[in-house]
Amino acid sequence: MQIVVLGMHRSGTSAVTSLLVRMGAHFGPAEVEMAARADNPAGFAERRDVVTINDELLAASGADWNTPLDYDRAKIPPAVLIPLLERARKIVGELSANPLSVIKDPRFCLTSDVWLPLFPQPVCLLVTRNPLAIARSLQQRGDCSVSTGLALWEAYLRASLRVARNFPLATIDYDKLMTGPRAELDRTFNVLRGLGLPASLANPTEQEISESLKADLCHHVSAFAEFTGFATPQQFSLFDELCKIPIKEIPDAAVSAPSQEALRYFASREIAVRRELDSLMKELARAEIVHRGTARSLRNARDRVTDLEAKRDSLLKVVAILMAEAEGACDVVLDAIRRPDLKTAFWLSHFLRRRGVTSADIQAVAKRLSTAWAAGREALDISTDGKGS
């Protein structure tokens, strides 16, 4: 048996699926499970591969989870639908290899016409909840207004019943599950056993119930009377039928005109917001490209400045050394000129040789020093003669 959990978003499908998994129903490899988020800290009990296929099915027909009126399997091109069916069959094959498995995604309410015919022994389990609590939870999450949330609930429930009524079908009331879990679970499992649930699967233990149904995760509780103050007459009638008559006896009907109007308005506003968001994202992407280019140029400029400063410092050190050596050489030369002693020329040669000056350079320097010495000696002789006269 493959239990396909149906139900509107925020209706308690995650808690019910988690309970079935704790009882032993096969879910799939741990790595395919969606991670928990702040809006569902206990986890979604959903498979990423299943959600991805459902998102692609909806998108291929121009719909999304919050624009359900646009979904129509007939609008999906065969080139898109056939590969999606093959991927779905692989998942169904893996689940069906187990005596009891469970699969859940609120989008199944819309896409069950694709999935349910693929299962060899499907049983649909529809999770119901006060629609006002669902709508307020959606509003709290920032998805839509309460009136839009109620319209979404009606659209999801109508779509799921349209297909699921052709398969084995049971219901479980999330509100009753939270207030009196044992009685509601006993009722539900008796129905499931009548539909083929393995007798070896015992009713859940108190520990399994407490671990799956945590009151602190149920943030919105609404009374039936309060719901009547928000619902349209059509929504009230649908929920009243859901509470009072067998699920398969609920008449098949289209989504009511007030709900369609609310959803069409929401879809048009959603499309406008998406277009604006897409435009902003493109502008942001362009700004990021410019920013990266500017940042790269600034980094290159800084690197160039750093390199030039390093070269400048190196050159300044070389100039300082050369100036010091030049100053020392000038002192030696001037001293040689002042001192009428040819032995100084040899000392100067030794001084220059130590600094890597070639022999030719030394000879040239010696010649110049000799000339300078002769000129200086002549100047001294002239000076001496002048004094003597």
Nearest in space to 133 (alpha carbons), one of 298, 1, 306, 10:
10
Q: What pLDDT is stored for residue 216 in this prediction?
A: 46
Q: Phi and psi of 53, rounded to 5°? A: -60, -45
* Residue 217 confidence class, pLDDT cut points 50, 70, 90: very low
Q: What pLDDT is stored for residue 346 in this prediction?
A: 62
Q: What pLDDT is stored for residue 218 in this prediction?
A: 45
**Per-residue pLDDT tens digits for 118-158:** 999 999 999 999 999 999 999 988 888 899 999 999 999 99
Q: What pLDDT is stored for residue 354 in this prediction?
A: 67
**Per-residue pLDDT tens digits for 363-379:** 666 566 666 656 655 65
Say yes or no to pLDDT of 160 above 70.
yes
pTM of this prediction exceeds 0.85? no
Looking at residue 231, what DSSP letter applies? S
Say yes or no to pLDDT of 307 above 60.
yes
Q: Are 177 and 16 in contact (CB under 8 A)?
A: yes
* Residue 259 confidence class, pLDDT cut points 50, 70, 90: very high
Q: What pLDDT is stored for residue 323 in this prediction?
A: 64
Q: Name the residue type at position 305.
A: V
Nearest in space to 116 (alpha carbons), one of 168, 170, 189:
168
Segment among 119-123, 191-195, 198-202 with least mean pLDDT: 198-202
Among residues of the chain, what percentage have pLDDT more than 90?
Answer: 37
Q: Are 139 and 149 in contact (CB under 8 A)?
A: yes
**Per-residue pLDDT tens digits for 25-47:** 899 888 888 877 766 666 678 99
Say yes or no to pLDDT of 194 above 70.
yes
CB atoms within 10 A of CB 261: 11
What is the chain's mean pLDDT, rounded?
82
* Beta strands in the chain, from DSSP E residues, in sequence order: 2-6, 101-104, 122-128, 169-173
CB atoms within 10 A of CB 325: 11
Q: What pLDDT is stored for residue 210 in this prediction?
A: 72
* Residue 325 confidence class, pLDDT cut points 50, 70, 90: low
Q: What pLDDT is stored for residue 52 in this prediction?
A: 95
Question: What average pLDDT does the segment 235-242 reach?
Answer: 90
Most confident of 24-33, 55-64, 200-209, 310-319: 55-64
CB atoms within 10 A of CB 295: 10
